[in-house]
Amino acid sequence: MVFMTNDIKSFIEKESAPIVICSTDNAGYWTGYYLNKCNVDFQFYVDDEVKNENTFCNGRPVYKFESLCETNRGGVFRLIVPTQNPDLILNKLAFLSEKFNLNFLCLLPLYKTSEKDVTYNINKMLGYFRKKLMKFELPTIIANECAVGRIYEQLDMAYISPLINTNLSYENFIKVCKNPKKYLVPIKNQMYWGYWYRSPTATEYPYVPAVKIDDVEIVFSHDNNLEYAKQRWNFLAEHCNFDRLIYVLVNSNGSIPLKVQREFANLKGEKLLMYYDEMFSFPSNEIPFVNRTKFVAAGEAIENYFDLVGWINKEYLQKYSRR
């Protein structure tokens, strides 16, 4: 029989059958890469699209699907099906299962986003492995727009920044970076409805919850309930890690003033630049950068564009400190 799950923790830690990866595509490559990095043993790949014999991927041989019925594994396999369109693979597995009396437990990176919708998210699945490779304590991330939440999600980490789903002006962002203990505090002022400036190309500016903490306006860009936005902020503000802060600047509100760029470059600690479309000129070349649209995409591993684990583990700081 063919069984399906998206619970990678249980799939890896509680099951014991041999693991096989079904596909050598990009998602299959990164799946094998992380299994190796985390010392999780897997047997081989299966992929009927690979025509050449003696083909290897991540140090494992690549076979045809029929090899599953030729390999003596007790008739049970754990199969990772990391592809965006798994139907063809699942149909092959159903055929082999019925014909050769095999049992397959299939891990698919498909997750509910609503009662009706299911979304493919390879980065959510890979987040399980990224989290295991983290060398440092959980950071509080300060960003000027909502992409901060996706960083936590791609690392399979709990949110410990109240700036989840919020937007800040460039100038207010710098204020928060310079004095986080002043601004990342529970909300005491009255909430109100403010504007959300979506992106540099936006044509709509909807009303969303907003609040002022001292002289900084916080805009809750993905909320439509004043009380909920306040409660979430207050809960996360109580869990900030001020001993490890990471700063992320995105050109989400058009051109970044040169003064803001310089102040950001001079901040002490880990930093990241995100950009829409093309990378903007910046006064420092020692800050990692990544395309914002590609970073938040669910359908392709972020490792194709950015070494997220290396960045969160401060490897880039070590790189520049040796210069």
pLDDT values of the chain reduced to their tens digit, one per residue, 323 residues: 899 999 999 999 999 999 999 999 999 999 999 999 999 999 999 999 888 888 999 999 999 998 888 765 567 899 999 999 999 999 999 999 988 888 999 999 999 887 778 899 999 999 999 999 998 888 899 999 888 888 899 999 999 999 999 999 999 999 999 999 999 999 999 999 987 765 555 556 678 899 999 999 999 988 889 999 999 999 999 999 999 999 999 988 778 899 999 999 999 888 998 888 776 677 677 788 888 888 888 889 999 999 999 988 876 555 444 43
What is the dihedral sign for C-alpha 8, 14, 15, 16?
A: positive
- Burial bucket for residue 74 (CB in 10 Å: 0-12, 13-18, 19+): exposed
In the prediction, which pLDDT does 320 show?
42
In the prediction, which pLDDT does 133 show?
94
Class of domain 2-127: alpha beta
Cα(274)–Cα(290) distance, integer angstroms = 5
Cα(317)–Cα(322) distance, integer angstroms = 9
In the prediction, which pLDDT does 298 show?
84
Cα(26)–Cα(30) distance, integer angstroms = 6
In the prediction, which pLDDT does 220 show?
92
In the prediction, which pLDDT does 202 show?
52
Q: Is 115 helix (H, G, I), strand (E, B) or coil?
A: coil
Q: What is the DSSP string of 62-73?
A: EE-TTHHHHS-S
For the chain, which residues make up each domain, given as ranges?
2-127, 134-321
In the prediction, which pLDDT does 101 show?
87
In the prediction, which pLDDT does 322 show?
40
Please, which residues bridge with residue 4 across strands?
A: 106
In the prediction, which pLDDT does 321 show?
43
Q: Are 13 and 68 in contact (CB under 8 A)?
A: no
